[in-house]
């Protein structure tokens, strides 16, 4: 099976599941960047946390990599763009630590409001400073939640229990959805005008770096307290330290920093600041969930199945109706590539879905088809990840059409282009794949790695000649069907499945036989 390199501590339960699936789990902790370049060679999967940086150089060294799994949410330590270009899937565990992060936010919110760590330090140092560390209540204060996603929503719900008024800034959330949660959506300027407390729950992107900086802090209320358990760099630490030192805002609590690990920051010397060393996901429950989730996702990727938490796959889901057709789509794609091999891939390829499939999100199925089309004879890895990019690079325009009506089949997947068309479906209680249409002929034959298409005159004796030639060449026929023309054209189409490829010289002999119009070996 596959070799899975694990460079950081992961919960044993997830790793045991990978071992049980037959994979070689290679745990090498504390690797230097140079050591990682050597260790990743020959690995099919790499599992990391936040301390390992997966650069383009690492991805290039891992020529056999299928998937990189990050046991957590953030992916700023993975070169996702280069992984996509290389066809390497990147997966994370986005739901593993949402409760832990929300609770850490509330812990820092309360610690900042009531000066808990400052009072603790004074007392254990022998100072009873009861009046010095007077705090403020959360009740009736306005909390601004920046980023109303999974974690932001949990924080808002918990803050409401303290009697806080909640406002939020999130350009991706509709006012109706926010209103349903009893939250007012506001602009960033309105956050600065209204917020007594502010919590951040957004990803670190070029748009969010420095989001809470000098410009924002200049507009803020003097009693504002900022809490960041999201990602370092979203808050400009120097600007925040200046604002607190000058009394322009009341304080801050941070769990994340621009550079990690760190023991130096202009914020550390300020008594109005509470800090923790990136503990947002540091609970036993979150660690177990992250390990279990990432192991499951990596296992799915290695098996070539749909991976729900893949961040660089252009598809949202694989429903129970769509999922069984993924293998069919890839097989059809490979057969279509073989069908058009002599002319080359056409500039336009249309993928059509008929029947029940038309009512579902079929993007993952389209990726499966493209994986088959471009994977045949490719000198580079082709996956769900980079198939669209390869299509664009090769100048192939891909379109999708859907129709809820299908005359002969409950579901049908068809590929057309360059004057050719091929279609397939699943049949029977066992959902067995069938090739049912090729270039205007209907048939019923299982897809095969070795197919030979024989176009012939529709008259007696031709099938026998074909069988004789193959038999004399020692080629065993596994399956065969004669396709009927659906468009009134003369002639027939034989589709022959063989255990081994039909050699070029045998194909030439077939083409010379009486009644044979053409021979195509896929």
| Nearest to 245, CA basis, from 269, 216, 218 | 269
Q: How many residues belong to the chain?
A: 522
pLDDT attached to residue 194: 98
- The active-site residue out of 44, 86, 231, 434 is 231
CATH 3.40.190.10 fits 323-521, yes or no: no
- Are both 3-94+285-302 and 98-275 of the same fold? yes
- Evaluate whether 489 touches 481 at the Cβ level (below 8 Å): no
- The active-site residue out of 38, 137, 207, 260 is 260
For residue 19, indicate whether it is catalytic: no
List the 411-417 sheet strands across, edge first: 397-403, 348-355, 411-417, 420-427, 432-438, 441-445, 477-485, 492-498, 451-456, 516-521
pLDDT attached to residue 482: 86
Taking the chain (522 residues) in runs of 10, the rounded mean pLDDT of each run is 93 92 95 96 94 95 94 88 90 90 97 97 96 96 96 97 97 90 96 98 90 97 97 96 97 95 94 96 90 92 83 73 88 90 90 90 90 75 81 90 81 93 90 89 86 85 88 88 68 86 88 87 86
pLDDT attached to residue 226: 98
Question: Could you give the CA distance from residue 470 to residue 450 in angstroms, rounded to a whole number?
Answer: 13
pLDDT attached to residue 78: 94
Pairing of strands 348-355, 273-275: unpaired
**CATH homologous superfamily for 98-275?**
NAD(P)-binding Rossmann-like Domain (3.40.50.720)
Please, which residues bridge with residue 420 across strands?
417
For residue 86, indicate whether it is catalytic: no
pTM for the complete prediction? Answer: 0.64
Domain positions in the chain: 3-94+285-302, 98-275, 323-521
Pairing of strands 432-438, 45-48: unpaired
List the 89-92 sheet strands across, edge first: 24-27, 3-6, 45-48, 67-70, 89-92
pLDDT attached to residue 317: 62
- CATH fold for domain 3-94+285-302: Rossmann fold (3.40.50)
Express each pLDDT in 95-104 by its tens digit. Answer: 888 999 999 9
Question: Could you give the CA distance from residue 476 to residue 268 in angstroms, rounded to a whole number?
Answer: 77
The b/e string for 235-262 (b: 16+ C-beta within 10 A; e otherwise) is bbbebbbebbeeeebbbbbbbbbbeeee
* Other C-beta atoms lying within 10 Å of the C-beta of residue 265: 19
- Evaluate whether 363 touches 355 at the Cβ level (below 8 Å): no
- Mind spelling out the 3-state secondary structure of 201-269? CCCCCCCCCCCECHHHHHHCCCCCEEEECCCCCCECHHHHHHHHHCCCCCEEEECCCCCCCCCCCCCCC
Greatest alpha-carbon pair distance for the chain in Å reads 107
pLDDT attached to residue 85: 86
| Nearest to 414, CA basis, from 454, 355, 345 | 355
**Cα→Cα distances 513→302, 333, 448, 454, 495, Å:** 46, 30, 24, 11, 16
- Evaluate whether 208 touches 234 at the Cβ level (below 8 Å): yes
- The active-site residue out of 23, 165, 169, 278 is 278
* Other C-beta atoms lying within 10 Å of the C-beta of residue 273: 22
pLDDT attached to residue 89: 92
For residue 260, indicate whether it is catalytic: yes
């Amino acid at each position: 099976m596959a070799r899975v390199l694990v460079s950081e501590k992961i919960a044993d339960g997830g790793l045991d599941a990978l071992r049980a699936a037959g994979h070689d789990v290679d745990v090498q902790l504390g690797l230097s960047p140079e050591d990682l370049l050597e260790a990743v060679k020959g690995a099919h999967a790499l599992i990391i946390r936040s301390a390992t940086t997966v650069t383009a150089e690492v991805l290039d060294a891992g020529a056999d990599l299928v998937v990189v799994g990050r046991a957590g949410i953030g992916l700023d330590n993975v070169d996702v763009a280069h992984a996509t270009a290389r066809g390497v899937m990147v997966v994370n565990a986005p739901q593993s630590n949402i409760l832990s992060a929300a609770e850490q936010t509330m812990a820092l919110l309360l610690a900042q409001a009531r000066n808990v760590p400052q009072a603790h330090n004074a007392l254990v140092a022998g100072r009873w400073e009861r009046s010095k560390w007077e705090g403020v209540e959360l009740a009736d204060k306005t909390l601004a939640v920046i980023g109303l996603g999974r974690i932001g929503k949990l924080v808002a719900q918990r803050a409401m229990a303290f009697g806080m008024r909640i406002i939020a800034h999130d350009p991706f959330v509709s006012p109706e959805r926010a209103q349903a949660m009893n939250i007012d959506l506001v602009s960033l300027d309105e956050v600065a005008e209204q917020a007594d407390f502010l919590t951040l729950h957004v990803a670190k992107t070029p748009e969010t770096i420095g989001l809470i900086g000098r410009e924002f802090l200049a507009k803020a209320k003097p009693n504002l307290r900022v809490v960041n358990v999201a990602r370092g760099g979203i808050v400009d630490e120097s600007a925040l330290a200046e604002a607190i030192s000058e009394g322009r805002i009341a304080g801050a609590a941070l769990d994340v920093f621009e550079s990690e690990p760190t023991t130096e920051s202009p914020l550390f010397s300020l008594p109005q600041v509470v800090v923790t060393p990136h503990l947002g996901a540091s609970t036993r429950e979150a660690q177990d969930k992250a390990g279990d989730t990432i192991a499951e996702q990596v296992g799915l990727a290695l098996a070539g199945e749909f991976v729900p938490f893949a961040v660089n796959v252009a598809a949202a889901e694989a429903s129970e109706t769509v999922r069984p057709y993924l293998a069919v789509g890839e097989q059809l794609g490979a057969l279509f590539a073989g069908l058009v091999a002599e002319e080359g891939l056409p500039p336009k390829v249309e993928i059509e879905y008929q029947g029940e499939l038309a009512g579902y999100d079929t993007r993952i199925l389209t990726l499966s088809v493209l994986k088959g089309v471009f994977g045949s004879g490719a000198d580079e890895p082709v996956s769900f990840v980079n198939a669209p990019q390869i299509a664009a690079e090769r100048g192939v325009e891909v379109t999708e059409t859907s129709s809820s009506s299908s005359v002969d089949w409950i579901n049908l997947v068809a590929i057309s282009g360059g004057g050719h068309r091929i279609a397939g479906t699943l049949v029977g209680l066992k959902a067995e794949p069938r090739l049912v249409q090729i270039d205007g002929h209907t048939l019923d034959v299982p897809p095969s790695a070795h197919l030979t298409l024989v176009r012939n005159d529709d008259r007696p004796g031709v099938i026998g000649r074909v069988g004789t030639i193959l038999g004399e060449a020692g080629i065993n026929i596994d399956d065969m069907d004669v396709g009927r023309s659906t468009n009134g054209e003369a002639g027939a189409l034989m589709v022959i499945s063989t255990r081994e490829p039909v050699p070029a010289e045998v194909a030439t002999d077939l083409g010379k036989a009486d009644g044979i119009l053409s021979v195509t070996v896929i």
